[in-house]
Structure formats: C-alpha cells, structure tokens
Amino acid sequence: MTATVGVAGAYDRRTEAPVDGRRARSNDRSGARAIRRGSGGDTVSAQLRAGIVGTGFIGETHLGAWTAEGVTTVVYDVDSARADELAGRFGATTASSLGELFEAVDVVDVCTPTHLHAPVAIAAAKAGRHVICEKPMARTAADAEAMLDAAREAGVRLLVGHVVRFFPEYVAARDAVLAGQIGDPGVLRLTRASFRPRQPAGHWFFDHAKSGGIVLDLMIHDLDYARWVAGEVVAVECRSAIVDRPEAGVDHAVAILTHASGAISHVSASWAYAPPTFRTAFEIAGSHGLIEHDSAFTAPVTPYLLASGDGATTTALADTSLNGDPFRHELAEFARAMVDGTPTRTSAQDALATLRLALAADQSAHEGGRVVRLDPAEAVR
C-alpha cells in the first residue's frame, strides 16, 4: 500500500484582518438559517453556500476544496484586491463586508489569523450561521469557550479543522490500533518538520501573542493526533528553541505527553529545516507490534507484528485507499454534518481539549520545561 503524503498546514500566509464588529451584525435573530440548495449540483455539499473569511494560504486551500465539492462560495477579506483575485480564479463571488457575507451563506469558514478566529466565529454564530474554523480553535481557551457558548446559544454547528484526522496514512494507522493489530499502544513518536515560515519581519505570524508560535500552529497537529490515538493527556512537558535561544532565529520544539492510559507520546515540531522541506513521520509502538510511516521515504504505512502461532509476518495494512485531498474530505464531512447531522470525527469540544493541551505545552516551554498537569475531565465538559 503506497502512502499519499500531503502538507497538513505547516504554515499559513494569511493576512491579518481586523474585524469590524459593526459589519458583523445581522438582522437574522431566528437561529440557524435553513440550508437551501446551492447551484453546484446534487451532492450533499452542494446544498450549502459557504463563506470564506480570510484569503491567505489556508483560505485558498479551503476555497479549492469547497469548489471541488461543488459548493457555492463567497469570499471576504479586508484586502479586497486579494479577495477579488482569489474569487476570480475559483469562480466565487466576493462580499464587501462580513455582514454582507453572512447574509449570502449558510456556513462561515473562518480562515483568519489565529487571534481573530473567536470574534469572527462568534459574530457568524450570532448571525445564525454554522461555523467551520481552521485550527487552532482560538488563541486562548477563554476565546474558544466563548465560541462554544455562542454556537450553543444560537443553535448552530461549530466544527474545527484538524485536518490530520483526514490524512489517509494517519487514519489507516489509527484504524489498525483500534483493530488491535499492535495490541495496546504504549509509545507514540510523532514528527512534523519544515522550514521557518517565509513572512516579513513584524508579520502577525511571528507575534506569539497572536499566533501562539510553533506549538499552536504546527505541533498542535500531532498533539491532536496523539489524543485521537492514545486518549486524553494528564501531563505535558515541552522545550522550545525559540524560547531558550531566541537569537538562533529558528524554532524546534519537543513535547512529552503522558496519557491517562499510561501511554507516552514524544512529539516534535520543527521550523529549522532548509526550504522546501516538509516531512512528517510517526511510530506507534504497542504490546504486539509497531506501526510506522515516514513521508521522506516511499515505503507504505507498515505494521511490524510480533510473530504468533499462525506464522504471522510483516504485512501492509489491507483494503485502505490512500487517495484524495484531506481538506476536501474534511470539508465534505463537515458539510454532511451541517445538512443532515452526520457525526464528525472531530467536534468543537474535542478541538478545545486539543487547544488546552497545546496551551499547556506552550506554557511548559516558557517555564523551562516544567511539567504541566491537565484534568482529563475538562475534555468532556
């Protein structure tokens, strides 16, 4: 089985887009808008009209995925020229304000800088629109909780894009773990490595107060995956090069997670490689074997199983297709949830738990690697 490897959002070129609260108001106070069929076709996704706020790297990525799904799309950005250019390439229309966008769509896809996720998402929910938000859910737990509260009060769906849960090689590995192929998972090693985002000095991305840095932007992918595979985390310790040696100008962070199950995850994230490197890898070791994958090689996702009485040998994971765009799979699943309530593999509450873990890891990094403990009960509240 050949693994298809894709970039899961190593960095984001989004422009910083302040929110005009006056523009975000809507006269619709009746809760979630009934979803009407769009013009894209007969698929479930085509019943939606999606509005994308933010036209940077992730906004463009989401727009491409929505377009492939046949969704009618509207784009808004404070950089109207950029919005016009992007909409023109994908056959979308543009809105001149958030309020205009809210009036035109059923679901708002928040692709702004991290610190602006909450105000846009809350405004959309108050306007009665379902919300999809790119990871991380918000810059702070308080902002994320406010997003949840707004969605509940308005009766709309709030879903957060942790796209690694849609990358086929990661799904295949988790499925193998759940099927008991390697026994109980004991140690996970997760790696995500790239070059320093190529943004100008002073860009919001390098403002820790706005972006959360490497832990909230890059490492959070694998923090979420570790939770998805091995369960809730009760303690984390983390070190970051940019914290310990800011003069180095690059960043590399390593976190050790202790799961409630007793499993240990070693998670590394790096912006210290030369362009155009983007590499992901994982190992999941269990009581009966090991699953590993490395995007730097052409080998498939492969489990190494301990020999049993039936003469079992090393085999590839069977009957798993590794084709397709993970962002499209993610948004298609979210669209089904918006239209008919189909369950999704990630929820806003789940994303909040991952955010709390990332914030704890970042806190540890800024406190010299001190162990930060988490309450797993917070994940289910």
Position 364 pLDDT exceeds 90: yes
Does one domain contain both 330 and 207? yes
Residues 313 and 316: their CA atoms lie apart, in Å, by 10
Say if 89 falls within a structural domain: yes
Percent of the chain at pLDDT above 70?
80
| 75-to-78, 107, 125, 296 alpha-carbon distances in Å | 10, 12, 17, 36
- Write down which residue in 161, 194, 227 finishes a domain: 161
Q: 306: pLDDT confidence band, cut at 50, 70 and 90?
A: low
- Write down which residue in 161, 182, 205 finishes a domain: 161
Does one domain contain both 127 and 107? yes
Closest CA to 18 of 157, 138, 113: 113
Q: What is the pLDDT of residue 381?
A: 59
Does one domain contain both 169 and 153? no
Say if 336 falls within a structural domain: yes
**Tens-digit pLDDT profile for residues 274-283:** 888 899 999 9
Say if 306 falls within a structural domain: yes
Q: What is the pLDDT of residue 305?
A: 66
347: its two tokens: 């929820």
CB neighbourhood size of 232 (10 A):
18
Closest CA to 105 of 33, 157, 155, 44: 33
Across all residues in the chain, what is the average pLDDT?
Answer: 85
Closest CA to 90 of 113, 109, 110, 62: 62
SS3 294: strand
Does one domain contain both 156 and 169? no
Task: Please check whether residue 46 is in contact with residue 106, taking contact to mean a CB–CB distance below 8 angstroms.
Answer: no
Say if 21 falls within a structural domain: no
What letter does residue 73 receive in the DSSP assignment? E
Exposed/middle/buried for 100, CB within 10 Å: 0-12, 13-18, 19+? Answer: middle
Closest CA to 186 of 110, 286, 103: 286
Q: What is the pLDDT of residue 298?
A: 56
Does one domain contain both 249 and 364? yes
Q: What is the pLDDT of residue 13?
A: 30
Q: What is the pLDDT of residue 30?
A: 37
Does one domain contain both 131 and 172? no
**Range name among 4-8, 75-79, 138-142, 227-231 with the lowest pLDDT average:** 4-8
Does one domain contain both 318 and 184? yes
Does one domain contain both 117 and 171? no
Position 313 pLDDT exceeds 70: no
**Tens-digit pLDDT profile for residues 342-356:** 899 999 999 999 999
Say if 80 falls within a structural domain: yes
Range of the domain at 108: 45-161
Does one domain contain both 154 and 172? no
Pairing of the two strands 251-259 and 302-305 = unpaired
Structural domains in the chain (count) = 2
- Write down which residue in 130, 161, 192 finishes a domain: 161
Q: What is the pLDDT of residue 34?
A: 54
**At 13, which amino acid appears?**
R
Q: What is the pLDDT of residue 4?
A: 26
Does one domain contain both 237 and 120? no
**Tens-digit pLDDT profile for residues 239-266:** 999 999 988 878 999 999 999 999 999 9
Say if 26 falls within a structural domain: no
Does one domain contain both 321 and 227? yes
262: its two tokens: 């007793």
- What would the mean pLDDT of 309-337 be, rounded to a whole number? 64
CB neighbourhood size of 203 (10 A):
17
Residue with tokens 């809507």: 26
248: CATH: 3.30.360.10
Say if 124 falls within a structural domain: yes
CB neighbourhood size of 187 (10 A):
14
Q: What is the pLDDT of residue 323?
A: 60
**Range name among 43-57, 103-117, 336-350 with the lowest pLDDT average:** 43-57
**Range name among 11-25, 51-65, 161-175 with the lowest pLDDT average:** 11-25
Q: What is the pLDDT of residue 81?
A: 97
**Tens-digit pLDDT profile for residues 193-227:** 998 888 888 888 889 999 999 999 999 999 999 99
Please report the DSSP string for 322-366 in residue order: --S-HHHHHHHHHHHHHHH----S--HHHHHHHHHHHHHHHHHHH
Say if 230 falls within a structural domain: yes
Task: Please check whether residue 346 is in contact with residue 368, taking contact to mean a CB–CB distance below 8 angstroms.
Answer: no
Does one domain contain both 173 and 128? no
52: CATH: 3.40.50.720
Q: What is the pLDDT of residue 124?
A: 98
Q: Where are the beta strands (DSSP E) in the chain?
A: 49-53, 72-76, 93-94, 107-110, 130-134, 158-161, 185-194, 233-240, 251-259, 264-271, 278-286, 289-294, 302-305, 372-373
